[in-house]
Copies of this chain bind each other. A is one copy, B any other.
């Protein structure tokens, strides 16, 4: 699923599986003149759930976006289908949260500028104060929002207000070391992506590299997942590992892990922005 310059339309669908779903969707699109670029399909054989992602060229398609949505909605209403419609020129708006470590942030910003991830990033939030200059350089507004146990609730309210004000579609926790409250998370279901610096479910919680070092593992990992109310338990979008040995000190693990974290988070954010991710139960389907 490349970053074609041509405008494309995308439908993401899931519903209880039954016969004729592909035919119904494909026929609907064909009759409206769609030239299909990608058609991805999956059925979870245990849960019996149907998933589909179709991407087609806007050019030559005969329905307006609004007509598409109303017509398609009527078509699939009897099927119990959850669906969403997206178009590639629709610029999604990201807010990045970061703490002391800036490697994921700087990596995302390089990819943002290089158009590897296509979005707007109007807002950078940190509980550390030093990110003003980098925010300015990339055209982002910066908010320094320190968190203490006492101020957490009010500061999170401030953050939620900011996210609404900036019309943020996706929150990216780029090594943000504060735990978000359930109240915050519920406002952005499946719209907060975190990077955890271990191969989840190994080493949940704090200091995973220290734990990995002490356990003597031969690989360290990183995991990008949607944030849910259960710490480090949300649906996994992407994971990767790198080999380590007895020669690697704790600092080496952290250094090698940084490269993983950057890539794993970037792949997860890119997949989300390309509408390649569907989540269900506590899992994801990642097409592409």
Which A residues have a C-beta under 8 Å from some C-beta of B? 1-3, 19-24, 26-27, 29-31, 33-46, 60, 103, 106-107, 110, 114, 116, 199-203, 214-219, 221, 235-241, 243, 245-247, 249-252, 255, 259, 263, 281-286, 288
Q: How far is the CA of A200 from the CA of B218 in the complex (A)?
A: 10
Residues from chain B with a CB closer than 8 A to the CB of A286 are 218, 245-246
Chain B nearest CB, measured from A191 CB (Å) = 18
A216 touches B284 (CB 8 A): yes
B199 touches A219 (CB 8 A): yes
Residues from chain B with a CB closer than 8 A to the CB of A236 are 215-218
A240 touches B252 (CB 8 A): no
Q: How far is the CA of A241 from the CA of B243 in the complex (A)?
A: 10
Q: A26-B27, A33-B19 are in contact. Are A110 and B103 (CB under 8 A)?
A: yes
Q: How far is the CA of A20 from the CA of B35 in the complex (A)?
A: 7
What are 17 A-B contacts with C-beta separation under 8 Å? Answer: A2-B251, A2-B252, A19-B30, A19-B33, A22-B39, A23-B23, A23-B26, A26-B26, A37-B45, A38-B43, A42-B246, A199-B199, A202-B202, A218-B239, A218-B286, A219-B240, A246-B284
Q: A27-B27, A216-B236, A238-B218 are in contact. Are A114 and B103 (CB under 8 A)?
A: yes
